[in-house]
Amino acid sequence: MEKRKHSRTSLVTDYTTQFNLGGKDFRKVQVANIGTHGCCLKLPIGSAPYLKGKPVLENMILFHSDAKKYSLKGKVAWHEDAAGPKSQWITAGVEFLDTPADCEREISEYVIATVPK
């Protein structure tokens, strides 16, 4: 498996996000893992058509219970197809674009604190 360029940490329910993609609003989307340069989202299977062509996520807001909310812009870097015919979820990798410095610092501190040593 290819090693990541940037550290990430897996999440259970710490972070959620909302954004607009192709004219559709997505709310309370689970962030499966996060790093300073991007995140992985868990999306309903019906989201697949919106992910084609590596679109930009507009009005992306990142939520964390212990942090302030951040407005970001992200670009779909990759997405997986459904795992099987009964699968209800797909995953998509999002690259952050123009991340505010205080947001990047807060995510970095979170990753350092939660990555197993």
Name the CA radius of gyration of the chain, rounded.
14
User: Does 68 or 23 have the greater pLDDT score?
Assistant: 23
Does residue 84 sit within a domain?
A: yes
First-to-last C-alpha distance (Å) of the chain:
20
- CATH number of the domain within which 21 lies: 2.40.10.220
Range of the domain at 82: 8-98
Domain count, the chain: 1
User: Does 84 or 61 have the greater pLDDT score?
Assistant: 61
| pLDDT at res. 21 | 92
Q: Each residue of 28-80: pLDDT tens digit?
A: 999 988 888 899 999 999 898 999 888 999 999 988 777 778 888 999 999 98
HEC readout, 21-82:
ECCEEEEEEEEEEEECCEEEEEEEHHHHHHHCCCCEEEEEEEEECCCCCEEEEEEEEEECCC
pTM across the whole model: 0.81
Tally of residues, the chain? 117
